[in-house]
Chains A and B, each alone.
Chain A
Amino acid sequence: MENGFSSPRTDAFPAGLRVLVVDDDPTWLKILEKMLKKCSYEVTTCCLARDALDMLRGKKDGFDIVISDVNMPDMDGFKLLEQVGLEMDLPVIMMSVDGETSRVMKGVQHGACDYLLKPVRMKELRNIWQHVFRKKIHEVKDIESHEGGPDEFDDGHLLSAGDTNLAKKRKDLENREHDDQEFSDPSAAKKVRVVWSVDLHQKFVNAVNQIGLDSEYQPGFLFNTLICIFIHKNISYFILCPSGDIWLSYLLFTTFSCHLNNACIEPLCVILLAEVGPKKILDLMNVPWLTRENVASHLQKYRLYLSRLQKQNEPKTSFGGIKLPDFSYKDPPGSFGLQSSTTMHQNNAANTNFGYSGNKILVQDVGSQIHGGDLEGIVSFLPAAEPKKALIGDVPDPQKTSSSSLMGTTHSLESLRPDVNYASFEFTIPRQHSWSGETPVKEQLKQEHEPYLLLGDGYTNPPLPIPHHIQVHRLRSVPSIYPRTSITERDKLGPIETRPLCTEYKSNHVTSISPVGRTVDLFSVQADSHIINPQAFEAISTITSSTKSRNFDQNCVNNLESVQQNIIPGSGSALLSSHGDVQLFSLQGCGYTENIGLQNIEFSDYNDSELVTELPSHLYDGLRFNCDYLDLMEYPTVDQGLFIA
């Protein structure tokens, strides 16, 4: 029957509730076990958080509720709480002898459904079943609303009081199971709540890892890095390296730079960050009934979790843990996204709220022109050489880009040193970038949402052909696309050229929008500080910013910080082709300029009018900006180079 209550119970719910207790104190563990047994619950004890997680994962649906102490030696109770919420979606109760408001608040913030103070009393434990019941009810409601069927509840209602709860619970469980596995009804209209069971989450993590592996890098960060490797014939070639981190991107860049040098092409360096997209994950997961939205929201949670991990692991959150030599973030880590707003001209409000959300910046690349196809999708780091902080080492103004913008980048790979501080993705986003007039872009920019600079469809696609619209601009003053903060959720970015810019922006979801495909998942900039991928922003900024003054704002940096980037190490080619995600983007003229509805976009003067101001629409695809994120956009990171004219 229902798989909810596996053990036969003679009593009605809540007897037999399966509780997992986690506490490093053996005395308390013993006491709690006894107390819970007295409540007729089924108790399993565990003194290590890791063991608890293993148990939870091993026994799918084996527990109804978890009670955990806050202070544990091997793992912070809050972390465990998050994990359980992510993977198993079970109600978790926190316990501690410390009842300070801040602690309790932290517990609630991390998703605890209750916070008990030690010493715990029997009566408190007797009532824990309510959390289980409440969750079930909510799920059933979701299911019901989704399926619109009253059936699920009928039985419950018809049963006698004693059985009602049980029956209802059973139904709930059944429904839940059903929902999980059989729900393939594409009733997109209704959002059925997906329960992220252990298996499902494992599939999710595997998919993410897969993407990371494809990137030749272990995922720790769910961000793609977009690098503009070079510009050839006015086309900037970018690589979007999924699951890369800045450092790896850098490596990638340097790898490619050799190729480029061989081909007598001056490499640039642009770092764009994007994220692993839900679409790709969804594809890899191969779960038919799961929607991209489900994955996106789960990805968001996961990112949050990872970022927290990172923050804890690295005092300075430089790019997701990558410490680049010259990492000079203005803002100390921990600030997601654009924080710094110092450089950002505009607003900042948005900046602060960046978080990263599965945005992806897809820069589509301009594939064909890439040399040797390897470069496809090569994302090069554009040194922000610029006036402001040279992002990457010092990038001498390349000849190519007259303006420069791109982050100063340009071209010289050599100038990019490992210690380029990508980190500073503070790429100086040239604020001053002024988009060289790409009218079309501008128009597009007008759209409310700021386009993501990179759009690409799909990162999921294998080496992208050069986006038609994308022109590679020499890194000239690439108009920086400053995201306007006006991006609101769901705003679609106006396609830069003809392409629609990111498609709907889901609040908090960063899904790749875009007609092109999934890919560009722009960070959904959420005004309410949901996370926006700073990276995305960075990337975008990078792409856009090109004018000389690229100053990447701190935001960029911040973004980088907060963005966990996965830099794809290794050969660019490998990157490129191996991942569908790697895409070369050629950003077209950063035409994003003020025209773009982005509020925060400040376009510095673009020197280079050559730059194609139009970003290929797919660049914008998936750009979802929340206003907040637009700040990123300010950075004309994607400058010229990025834009493929």
Chain B
Amino acid sequence: MESNHLQRQIAYTRKSLFDQGFLDEQFIQLEDLEDDANPNFVEEVVTLFYRDSTRLILNIEQALEKSPLDFTKLDNYMHQFKGSSSSIGARKVKIECTQFREYCKAGNAEGCTRTFQQVKKEHAALRKKLEAYFQLVRQAGPAETASHSK
């Protein structure tokens, strides 16, 4: 059936997000929080995250344009960004963030710049995937979201 098919598609998409390492356990925690009072909780959180993180990315970008680089500031920004990313379980993004911070501590400007590109890349990639995912979820309707199993 359509709905079954949709459900399977949702389940499959979701699973692959985990299998491919885009998401980690935190995402599941968010799903657990979803209830009747907040049926779209996860999507709301993700939306909130992407709105806020865009601002953080901009900060970092601006800081990276300065010369010489203020590694402390960069580290602080990235710390913030990493914290935020951890809220939705953005695993790959977090990994790149950690790498970036390593370069910051080492004062490696080139490493920072390079890694930041990776951060942005992962950030954008996850966004696309999640958008697609939530689209399916919305399509399936509220009843379907409840069928998500932990």
Interface residues of A (CB under 8 A from B): 24-28, 30-31, 34-35, 38, 69, 71, 96-98, 118-119, 121-122
Contacts and interface: CB of A to CB of B under 8 A. Distances in A.
A26 B50 CA distance: 11
B33 A27 contact: no
Interface in B50-87: 52, 76, 79-80, 82-84, 86-87
A27 B45 CA distance: 6
B23 interface: no
B88 interface: yes
A234 to B, nearest CB: 58
Contacts of B29: 119, 121-122
B148 to A, nearest CB: 16
B32 interface: yes
A28 B87 contact: yes
A34 B38 contact: yes
Contact of B33 (A35, A98, A119): A35
Closest 4 CB pairs of A and B: A97-B83, A27-B87, A27-B49, A119-B26
A121 B88 CA distance: 12
B41 A34 contact: yes
Contacts of B80: 24-25, 71
A97 to B, nearest CB: 4
A30 B48 contact: yes
Contacts of B140: none
A25 B84 contact: yes
B79 A97 contact: yes
Contacts of B49: 27
A98 B80 CA distance: 10
A30 B38 CA distance: 11
A483 B79 CA distance: 48
A119 B89 contact: yes
Given A25-B87, A26-B48, A119-B89, A31 B33 contact: yes
Contacts of A30: 44-45, 48
Given A30-B44, A30-B45, A25 B33 contact: no
B30 interface: yes
Nearest to B47: A27
B54 to A, nearest CB: 12
Interface of B: 26, 29-30, 32-33, 35, 38, 41, 44-45, 48-49, 52, 76, 79-80, 82-84, 86-89
Contact of B79 (A28, A98, A119): A98
A557 B115 CA distance: 48
Contacts of B38: 34
Contact of A97 (B32, B33, B82): B82
B34 to A, nearest CB: 9
A25 B32 CA distance: 21
Contacts of A122: 29, 32
Nearest to B101: A98
A69 B35 CA distance: 26
A69 B87 CA distance: 13
A25 B82 contact: no
Nearest to B46: A27
A302 B38 CA distance: 43
B83 A38 contact: no
A404 B11 CA distance: 88
Given A71-B76, A118-B86, A119-B89, A27 B48 contact: yes
A95 to B, nearest CB: 9
Contacts of A34: 33, 38, 41
B88 A27 contact: yes
A69 B84 CA distance: 12
Contacts of B30: 31
A121 B33 CA distance: 11
A28 B83 contact: yes
Contacts of B84: 25, 27-28
Nearest to A96: B83
B69 to A, nearest CB: 20
A118 B87 contact: yes
A26 B51 CA distance: 10
Contacts of A69: 83
